[in-house]
């Protein structure tokens, strides 16, 4: 799961080295948290959240095939 999500996000952003994904499991739900460079946040979110919504949908399809539940979130970068 984590590798697929990393591939998708890395393909979207300009600075693919800054992409990191944290994975933890809680109550049978796999939580994946994406962290990207501050300049690439807009690319990952997209207009009206369409890109991140599409990423979540693709990952939910993969999760259903494996019989697990998944939650994909985007980590906020603190303002400087």
Q: What is the pLDDT of residues 67-80, one digit of tens each?
A: 999 999 999 876 55
For 69, the token pair is: 């539940």
pLDDT tens digits, one per residue of 5-38? 999 999 999 999 999 999 999 998 999 999 999 9
In terms of Cα–Cα distance, which of 71, 1, 79 is closest to 31?
Answer: 71
- What CATH number does residue 18 fall under? 3.30.300.20
pLDDT tens digits, one per residue of 54-67? 999 999 999 999 99
Would 79 be classed as within a structural domain? no
The vertex-7 CA angle with 54 and 34, nearest 5°, equals 65
For 28, the token pair is: 């049978």
Q: What is the pTM assigned to this prediction? A: 0.87
- Its domain, for residue 30, covers 2-74
Total count of domains within the chain = 1
Rg (CA), the chain: 12
For 29, the token pair is: 């739900």
Q: Indicate the helix (H) or strand (E) that contains 24.
A: strand 20-26
């Amino acid at each position: 799961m984590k590798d697929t999500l990393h591939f998708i996000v890395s393909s979207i952003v300009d600075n693919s080295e800054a992409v990191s994904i944290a994975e933890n499991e809680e109550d049978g739900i796999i939580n994946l948290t994406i962290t990207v460079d501050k300049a690439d946040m807009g690319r990952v979110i997209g207009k009206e959240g369409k890109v991140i919504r599409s990423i979540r949908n693709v990952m939910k399809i993969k999760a259903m095939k494996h019989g697990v539940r998944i939650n994909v979130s985007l980590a906020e970068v603190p303002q400087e």
